[in-house]
């Protein structure tokens, strides 16, 4: 069984989620592309939350609402960090840009 929590630790802000099973913990940070702190969340917050929870299992979820510049910047930074053998969170990208409904699609 998995336990999913929204956790607040000390004076720090809320983490989005902590998923655990026994002593195995994973921190999940979620940011919208409209959030000016999206890169700070990736580079700093998720790692600090991981340290606070004594885990190196981290996931960063970026929800793109139509800001291709921020998406490209995040992907570029992630690739550089991986190439440089830095500890990085697993990166999930969600395309939440507006699209026509499938029921209205025509060829």
| Measured distance CA(32)–CA(25) in Å, rounded | 23
Decide which of 35 and 107 is more confident: 35
Decide if pLDDT at 10 tops 70. no
Give the tokens for residue 100.
């026509």
Q: For 11-26, what is each residue's pLDDT tens digit?
A: 554 556 678 777 888 8
Q: Which of 65, 78, 80, 74 is nearest to 32 (CA)?
A: 65
Q: Which of 36-40, 49-53, 55-59, 60-64 has the lowest mean pLDDT?
A: 49-53
Question: What is the distance of C-alpha 62 from the center of its chain?
Answer: 5
- How deeply is 22 buried, as exposed, middle or buried, from its count of CB atoms within 10 A (0-12, 13-18, 19+)? exposed
Decide which of 106 and 10 is more confident: 106
CA distances from 19 to 27, 33, 42, 72, 98 (A): 7, 23, 18, 28, 30
Residue 103: per-residue pLDDT: 79
Please give the model's pTM, rounded to 2 decimal places.
Answer: 0.80
Q: For 70-98, what is each residue's pLDDT tens digit?
A: 999 999 999 999 999 999 999 999 999 98
| Measured distance CA(104)–CA(88) in Å, rounded | 40
């Amino acid at each position: 069984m998995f336990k999913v929590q929204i956790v607040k630790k000390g004076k720090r802000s809320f983490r989005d989620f902590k998923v655990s099973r026994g002593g195995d913990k994973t921190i999940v940070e979620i940011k919208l592309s409209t959030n000016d702190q999206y890169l700070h969340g990736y580079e700093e917050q998720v790692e600090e939350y991981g340290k606070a929870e004594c885990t190196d299992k981290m996931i960063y979820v970026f929800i793109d609402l139509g800001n291709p510049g921020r998406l490209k910047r995040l992907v570029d930074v992630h690739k550089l960090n991986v190439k440089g053998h830095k500890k990085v969170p697993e990166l999930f990208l969600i395309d939440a840009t507006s699209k026509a409904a499938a029921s209205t699609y025509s060829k």
